[in-house]
A and B are shown apart, each in its own frame.
Chain A
Amino acid sequence: MAENVRPRVRVPATVAAGETITIKTLISHNMESGQRKDGDGNVIPRSIINRFTCDFNGQNVIDVTLEPAISRNPFFEFQATISESGTFQFTWYDDDGSVYEEQKEIAVE
């Protein structure tokens, strides 16, 4: 399993109905491309986050395929228009099969 993987997410706690919010996510991950070699000339195996998804109350907001050229600690910023209170579900999928999850509540006031 990749080391020191820590997802983090920033979502506003409250929002006015129909308002568009900005969501920021970052996951600390080495994103080893699989194209580098170690000191002995052996290829360092690829180990990246290959997919990132965000869902809101079961509805998909964003679904991203990540490729080896994406640098360490991938950061995503995107927007969503919110009409009801609910829960954001963030999921990162690792090459090694690990799945990292994070949830954030948001309330419409």
Chain B
Amino acid sequence: MKALALKGVAAVTALSFVAASALADENANLVVNGEIDMTIRAPAPDHMENMSEVMSGWLFRSSETQALQLDDFENPGMIWVDDAREVFASESGSGGESCASCHDSPEALAGVRAVYPKWDEEHGEVQTLEMQINECVTERMGGEPWKYTGGTMVNMTALLASVSRGMAVNVAIDGPAQSTWEMGRDLYYSRTGQLELSCANCHEDNYGNMIRADHLSQGQINGFPVYRLKNAKLNAVHSRFKGCVRDTRAQTYSPGSPEFIALELYVASRGNGLSVEGPSVRN
């Protein structure tokens, strides 16, 4: 028992040393447009046994990449937020209604992003923000569902995230959502693929270390959807999950699948306390 505890301390020391040396500027603060003060470090939620502090992926990026997120004019993700504003106000579906018919303005939905995925009593399932949007599009507006990680959907989630920026992520993991959350936790710690890697192998055991030419982050999803410099567009969280699982050389789950919904809830809960940052800018 004593040996175990000692080993734990050594591991923590090594990790914090590595993490600190990897950051562009350890004391950097993220203030967007000079007014939205983001929480980029927070005490780890109680359910996380192996970590003491959660950190935004913004901290792991170079100072040039970090700067792109400081100003909405320079954040390329905001281009699609503007596109979504038009969709929000335009009528579609059989009822001739728009998002604005019920919700007035996107700003009226401030805070929504922070609590999703969330248990839906009516459908008896945990719903992601994408599922909630599609529920509105199909059941209330009488339209065709949007593709889960398609442009229209990603843009709309970016708009909803943008109006919640600065608010703390606060997803519920108890009550009816608990079994889904536990499924997500099991997936997070399960090794997959030919490389036999779990999410935790990289994002818990090795954050701050290099993975090829890149710094591993903690894999927080508070900044999604993310504008990635590598593909110059907004990326949905399930697309990112898919990319990660593919990189372990496994058959991936599909975006919108029960597995990814559970994983999203679990990973979101690991960022409880961090600010909603989407659309953020990353590599």
Contact = CB atoms under 8 A, between A and B. Distances in A.
What is the predominant secondary structure among interface residues of chain A facing chain B?
strand
A8 interface: yes
Nearest to A30: B232
A59 to B, nearest CB: 25
B74 A73 contact: no
A75 B76 CA distance: 9
A66 interface: no
Interface string A1-41: 00010101010000000000000101010000000000000
A26 B77 CA distance: 12
Interface string A63-95: 000000001110100000000000000000000
A73 B73 contact: no
Contacts of B144: none
Contacts of A73: 76, 79, 232
Contacts, number: 19
Nearest to A29: B79
B82 interface: yes
Name the interface size band of chain B. Answer: under 10
B182 to A, nearest CB: 41
Interface in B73-112: 73-74, 76, 79, 82-83
Contacts of B73: 8, 10, 24, 26
Contacts of B76: 26, 73, 75
A24 to B, nearest CB: 6
A72 B232 contact: yes
B232 A6 contact: no
A6 B73 CA distance: 13
A10 B233 CA distance: 22
B74 A24 contact: yes
A4 to B, nearest CB: 6
Nearest to A4: B83
Interface in A41-76: 71-73, 75
Contacts of A71: 232
A26 B73 CA distance: 8
A8 B78 CA distance: 11
Interface in B45-95: 73-74, 76, 79, 82-83
Given A6-B79, A6-B82, 4 more contacts: A8-B73, A10-B73, A72-B232, A73-B76
19 contacts: A4-B83, A6-B79, A6-B82, A8-B73, A10-B73, A24-B73, A24-B74, A26-B73, A26-B76, A26-B79, A28-B79, A71-B232, A72-B232, A72-B233, A73-B76, A73-B79, A73-B232, A75-B74, A75-B76
The 8 A-B residue pairs whose C-beta atoms are closest, nearest first, are A28-B79, A72-B232, A10-B73, A73-B76, A24-B73, A71-B232, A73-B79, A4-B83
